[in-house]
Amino acid sequence: MTTLLDTLNPKYALGVGMLDHDHREFCELVNQLHKADTVDFIRLFSALYAQTEAHFNEEKTLMLNTKFSGINEHLSEHARFLSELKTMDLAVRRGAIIMGRQFATTIVPEWFLTHIATMDKALAAHAHLCNPAQKIS
């Protein structure tokens, strides 16, 4: 079975330590979900939700600390995706495994690739301007 997201793809690296670390974790969880049996799938789906929520909080802190002008749009997109993920996490825990697998192998990786190529990329560029040494972690 192939992996969905190439964790080491340089296209995913934004050059901000915290972002790149968390995004690699996200990719690894998505790839594990893709290969998981039902018991592991339920556990890993909840782990993906928790990891995403924690990561969004980290990004929010970065946006606030660097006075990022795109904060409102970015946070509302985080809230929208997190709500979708939470709804699906509840459904998976109630037994909607096939629906959860479909979501985890299509919508989640598609969302990730679009989000890092647009909103997270803009945030990383802003963070670099605030800290040209790129030591934001």
For the bound state, the minimum distance from the C-beta of residue 33 to Fe ion, rounded and expressed in Å, comes to: 18
Q: Is 5 in the site for Fe ion (CB under 5 A)?
A: no
CA geometry: angle 66, 60, 112, nearest 5 deg: 115
User: Please, what is the minimum distance in Å from the beta carbon of residue 28 to Fe ion?
Assistant: 14
Among 112, 120, 124, 127, binds Fe ion (CB under 5 A): 120
Q: Which of 40, 27, 45 is nearest to 92 (CA)?
A: 45
Nearer to Fe ion, 89 or 120 (CB): 120
Dihedral sign computed on CA atoms, order 23, 27, 28, 33: positive
34-73 binders of Fe ion (CB under 5 A): 59
| CB distance 34 to 28 below 8 Å | no
| C-beta nearest to Fe ion: residue | 120
| CB 78, min distance to Fe ion, A | 6
Cα 40 to Cα 62: distance, rounded to the nearest angstrom: 32
Q: Footprint of Fe ion on residues 87-106 (CB under 5 A)?
A: none
In the complex, the residues that contact Fe ion under the rule CB under 5 A are 59, 120
